[in-house]
Amino acid sequence: MDLIDTLRSTGAVREFTDQPVDDAAVARILDTARFAPSGANAQAWRVVVVKDPAVRTRLRDLYLPGWADYLTMSAAGLRPWAPVNDPRAEAAALAVASEQAAALAVASEQAAALAAGSDQGGPAVAGGLAAHLDEAPVLLALFADLSALAAVDRDLDRYSFAGGASIYPFAWNVLLAARAEGLGGVITTMLIREEGPVKELLGAPDPLALAAVIALGHPVHQPRRLQRRPVPAFTTVDRVDGTPFPG
């Protein structure tokens, strides 16, 4: 597959068919992804291929509360967990959602009691990756070895992200290599919200930190050319407020 076309059309895939992915394909994907760049060539990544159905179910259950919070804050007009957010605004949005969820739970229980004995099914369960994470053909837990990261912004008075430059290129290489296998996937960081339980579940000691979970499989819908902002919308000359760089 042409490299430029691959870069322009490899998007996030969250829906997969039931077709399995064999270990040989996963091994080829990881064998290619390992050539990702990293600071000092430290290759500070560690991957766990999660196969145990019980462990997968637990990961899904740990994923769902964070996803609910994400949707709640988005609905309130917030970018969830943005480093510059007002924590009070996030807390207020989540509190309102909690009250609404409690009211809905009571209503659902009442409706279930009224429908007892009926031959009609209940309401459909919400779908999407969150509800079906455990069903993804391939689940990869990606850990970063914090002792091998040169986080040059560690001591700044702001959110630190420089260390990720030595980890996330590997994650992106996984998606690109998967594309070459006819697969699709998505990099999700939601489970970092539950890093402690995830580390315990997967036997990950310190100084490993959860960087992402990557789901892979055969796409229900084949990726197509993506839409993004044009170059002049995010590139300028000499200064951030400089003349837009022509695209």
Which tens digit of pLDDT belongs to each residue from 179-228?
A: 999 999 999 999 999 999 999 999 999 999 999 999 999 999 877 778 89
Tokens standing for residue 19: 């077709």
Residue 171 to residues 95, 145, 168, 217, Cα–Cα distance (Å): 34, 14, 5, 15
Identify the pLDDT of residue 121. 33
Residue 47 to residues 124, 169, 180, 213, 229, Cα–Cα distance (Å): 35, 14, 20, 9, 33
CA distance 41 to 119: 61
Average pLDDT of span 63-80:
91
CA distance 123 to 88: 34
pTM over 0.85: yes
Cβ atoms of 46 and 208 within 8 Å: the answer is yes
Cβ atoms of 178 and 26 within 8 Å: the answer is no
- Lowest-pLDDT range of 5-9, 134-138, 204-208, 229-233: 5-9
Asked, as a colleague might, if the bond just before 37 is cis with ω within 30 of 0, I would say no
Identify the pLDDT of residue 60. 95
Tokens standing for residue 30: 């990881």
Cβ atoms of 133 and 56 within 8 Å: the answer is yes
Reply yes or no on whether the pLDDT at 104 is more than 80.
Answer: no
Percent of the chain with pLDDT over 90: 77
